[in-house]
Amino acid sequence: MNDRKLSLEYINSVLYDLEKAFWDERGRGARFRVTTVGREYFLDKCLPRIQSQDLDTIVKAVEDVLTEEGIVLGQSHQVEDRLLRIRVEGCLHQDVERKLQAKDVEPFTCIPANLVALAIERVLRRPVELAEIKLEDGACHLLLVLFEPRDVDV
């Protein structure tokens, strides 16, 4: 087993380079290729914590994991019909989004959003699309659109 620790600066630098290269290759289409990033983490850490089919409870379970793991400092959400608004504070990867914005690349992927989407798709069988990521007030503001349930396994 390897006990070496990597710096957050190094990890975010590599993530930035990967995201920027993908954006340069695919542009806005990159958004639709990274929706499952975080799936293994979801299956290992989040899915076992989900004990309900209530949307608020599902989202809260993912929020709790992210906070407990130190990935975010805090997270809150609101549901408005088919829209799910999430505010993420203190995400470890927010610097990646800032660097991308400095290069005129709109934020197009978010691990906390992916984990919530994976949870909703898996437990409720409802497709989810990450429609918007905004960096405002030192936090990420995410907008997810929830679609009608489907009968296909995710």
Strand 83-89 with 128-136, pairing: unpaired
Q: Is the pLDDT of residue 12 over 70?
A: yes
Cβ neighbours of residue 75 closer than 8 Å, sequence gap 6 or more? 63, 66, 67, 86, 87, 88, 89, 112
**pLDDT band, residue 90 (cuts 50/70/90):** very high
List domains and CATH numbers for the chain.
Answer: 8-146 (3.30.1380)
pLDDT score recorded for residue 137: 92
Q: Mean pLDDT of all residues in the chain?
A: 93
Q: Is the pLDDT of residue 150 over 80?
A: no
pLDDT score recorded for residue 6: 85
Cβ neighbours of residue 65 closer than 8 Å, sequence gap 6 or more? 45, 46, 49, 115
Q: Where do we find the tokens 């949307």?
A: 55
**Token reading at 55:** 């949307």
pLDDT score recorded for residue 62: 97
Q: Is the pLDDT of residue 99 over 90?
A: yes
Length of the chain: 154
Pick from 18, 43, 35: nearest CA to 99:
18
pLDDT score recorded for residue 153: 59
Give this prediction's pTM. Answer: 0.90
Lowest mean pLDDT among 17-21, 31-35, 117-121: 31-35
